[in-house]
Structure 1
Amino acid sequence: MNNRKIAFVKYGGFSHVNEMVVEILTREFPNLEIETIDVFTDLVNTKDLATIFHTLNEYSKEIFDRTLHIGNRRLYTSYFFHKLRKALVKRLAGRNYLFTFQTQSLFDASIPGIPHFVYTDHTALANLTYRGFDRAKLPSSAWIECEREIYHNATLNFTMSENVADSIVKDYGVPAHKVANILCGPCLNVPQAEVFDDNRYHHQKILFVGIEWERKGGPILEEAFKMVLDKFPNATLDIVGCSPKVTTPNCNIVGKVPLPEVSEYYKKASVFCLPTRFDPNPNVCFEAMAHKLPVITTNGGSRPEFTIEGKSGYLVEVDNPHQLAEKAIELLASPQKCKSFGEYGHRMVWDKYTWEKTGARISQNIDRFLSCRPI
């Protein structure tokens, strides 16, 4: 057969997920060539005058009211969606792919007659389930109709969580048989047999990992940490991935570091805290669990699916520093509980949340739609 290619269509790095997907496709389909296309570097310009004009037109009230920034909405107009769709059809048509595969639901890379698979961690309408989310911050209704096309045009929609799988079915009217929750894994490589020093649970060291300090609940964590210091004056908070201006004592601002180096901070921590506000599926929680850390995070998105209350960690309310401080103090006061929670989460990761298992689920599902797989 001539169709010995996979078109892998992506946008940027997707928090290292795209790297993992390429590894999966390479491993599961070793006889196929993978052609990678980054839509916003290879196909279209997001800053041309027409795109800016249509963004201003579709979001005029929000932009002029200063509730939205034009830069955050350029990708979410019906004009840009169809402009990108046209560029993708032109780029992919006639190249005889066995199937096409895209990550994230920001564009539609489907081509008639070719099996097409979408792998996403979010939907726009799933945001409405997050406590405190302002409905006015949703993309326009015209763009959400475009998003609906993505899911309906896909041969199969892969999701990272049951929360998003439910949204695609309930919010977008996609038949359940066109959705498969295949989960994901930690993007930081941690050997299953790695041995960790249990003494770290006695060090009263809290860890935060995230690039977006505000969205990930950093200010709430700082407020909670002040209360923690009242109980444990020697406690510390390591902030990895960003460099916010904090004035609270005992905060160690690490900033951005290469991904492999982040592991060293997990290995030294006692507790992992991510009081994120609007976050569909934070991969850092899986990384923390892979490092045998108890996790304290907020109740929303996919977090209740893997943060098992009182077993792998605790779920707290969004924007509630008092509750966050209470749970952090409880864990810091009990190294044995930290160890028990960490071990439970570690087992859960290796039982369900690995890229090897996700890769097998991808392969099994895709094979059902391929009439003939090249040998």
Structure 2
Amino acid sequence: MTIRTLGLTQGKFQDPLAASGLNQNVFSALARRTNLVEVLDISLSGWRRWWNASIHWSPDRDRWRERFDLNVWSFTQLSRMAGRELSQRDGSFEVVLQLKTLYSPGYPVGSWPYAILVDNTYTLSDRHYPPWAPMKPTERDRWLKLERATYHGASAVFARTQWVRQSLLQDYGLSPDRAVWVGTGCNFNPHTLPKKKDLDDGRTILFVGKEIQRKGLPTMLKAFKVVHQQMPEARLVFVGRDLAVQQSGVEVQGKVTDRSHLRRLYEQASLFVLPARFEPCGNVVTEAMGYRLPCIVTTAGGIAELVIDRETGYVIPPDRPDILADCILDLLSNPKKRQQMGEAGARRVTEELNWDRVVERMLPYLLQKPPGMGHPG
């Protein structure tokens, strides 16, 4: 018998840009294996959105964005909203799958069986990248209580990386049978890509990321200065923000919303680099691997699990432009190695890092009985 599922997320399910394509691809894969009744967008709107923005305003736009999403008032409002929506549909579904833990599926939690897919926890952000943990101690403690109760009320918490699974076990006290590694996927169908890479010019490095500091652009620019001195023909293509970068060989594409244009940039690149200072999972990495690009990433988070060091690319320490430059030069000067690593990455995406495999790992746990009625307090 096919399980009747219902999805909870933020952003429109069919929007290919929402959550970098995560919403569309996760729930499309879920629909192929279950009877997906509906996907609900649990987002603040109207006066609630205005109020949340106004009471958490900050002159620092990035901090304002984090405060907008991460606060107890928003968590409670979204949880109640989710509860109302689920009450109206009670009986039409057997289990809820929620993406992320910015709210709980009801308030208090526990009225419906549910599972959550996560790539990060507040504790990990607080420990490794404080800009993503903007709360003061009193509110942080209230948030952690809510977050913990939401995890403990779930039938299963699906971890996209072993890195976040360890946090669920050690920081939140989940039992190993309910903190379940399921892996992650690529936010497009890798089977639609060309079977071989013909456009590699042997000199183009691609960097994709909007958050300049967190994604490691300063490290990338320092490393590229060394690369460009030794290989004047090398070029760095930056996608993410409109920045005035005055550095030879750097081409700023800015924000790219046209997927066909982004596809061309992937196809024309020789390698992909994301020297992040903190990256829980990194959807762009699996995309780059799908395009047969060798990838250079860091050990700063779950991103390190996506790339197999010296097989599909390199995994290096963060904030080390010297090591990054050496790895880039090694790949740009070795076409055969680039091709081998790129092909290995594409196979990894096709065979392992795809959402159908993720949902396949979820299925045995979706109807697992919850341990009891959680209560955020």
Residue 119, structure 1, aligned to residue 117, structure 2: yes
Deviations 1:60-94 (A, max 9, x none): xxx79x79844431332323322332332233225
Query: Aligned match of 1:33 in 26, 32, 37?
Result: 37
Instruction: State how far apart, in whole Å, the 2-side matches of 1:326 and 1:129 are.
Output: 30
Partner AA of 1:11 in structure 2: Q
Offset at 1:191?
1.6
SS of 2:207's partner is: strand
Query: Aligned match of 1:17 in 8, 14, 22?
Result: 22
Per the normalisation by structure 2, the TM-score is 0.85
Residue 317, structure 1, aligned to residue 317, structure 2: yes
Report what 1:84 is aligned to.
Answer: 78
Instruction: State how far apart, in whole Å, the 1-side matches of 2:325 and 2:260 are.
Output: 29
SS of 1:195's partner is: coil
Q: Alpha carbons of 1:43 and 1:148: their partners in 2 closer, same or farther (altered >3 Å)?
A: farther
Q: Alpha carbons of 1:263 and 1:199: their partners in 2 closer, same or farther (altered >3 Å)?
A: closer
Instruction: State how far apart, in whole Å, the 2-side matches of 1:185 and 1:321 are.
Output: 29
Partner AA of 1:232 in structure 2: M
Offset at 1:356?
1.6
Report what 1:59 is aligned to.
Answer: none
Query: Is the CA contact (8 Å cut-off) linking 1:192 and 1:350 kept in structure 2?
Result: no
Report what 2:374 is aligned to.
Answer: none
Report what 2:160 is aligned to.
Answer: 160
Q: How many residues align?
A: 355
Instruction: State how far apart, in whole Å, the 1-side matches of 2:143 and 2:173 are.
Output: 16
Instruction: State how far apart, in whole Å, the 1-side matches of 2:269 and 2:316 are.
Output: 20
Report what 1:45 is aligned to.
Answer: 48
Alignment of 1:241-280 (within 5 A): 241-255=240-254, 256-280=256-280
Structure 1: tracts of 5 or more residues without a match: 57-62, 371-375
Report what 1:196 is aligned to.
Answer: 196
Offset at 1:297?
1.1
Query: Is the CA contact (8 Å cut-off) linking 1:77 and 1:142 kept in structure 2?
Result: no
Deviations 1:90-143 (A, max 9, x none): 33225223221210111101553421011111111122564xx34894542221
Instruction: State how far apart, in whole Å, the 2-side matches of 1:338 and 1:239 are.
Output: 20
Instruction: State how far apart, in whole Å, the 2-side matches of 1:296 and 1:152 are.
Output: 36
Offset at 1:213?
2.9
SS of 2:362's partner is: helix
Structure 2: tracts of 5 or more residues without a match: 12-17, 371-377
Alignment of 1:133-212 (within 5 A): 133-134=129-130, 137-139=133-135, 140-191=140-191, 194-197=194-197, 200=200, 203-212=202-211
Instruction: State how far apart, in whole Å, the 2-side matches of 1:241 and 1:346 are.
Output: 23
**Bigger relative contact order (CA 8 A; separation at least 6):** 2
Query: Is the CA contact (8 Å cut-off) linking 1:275 and 1:296 kept in structure 2?
Result: yes
Deviations 1:136-174 (A, max 9, x none): 945422212211122111111112111111111111111
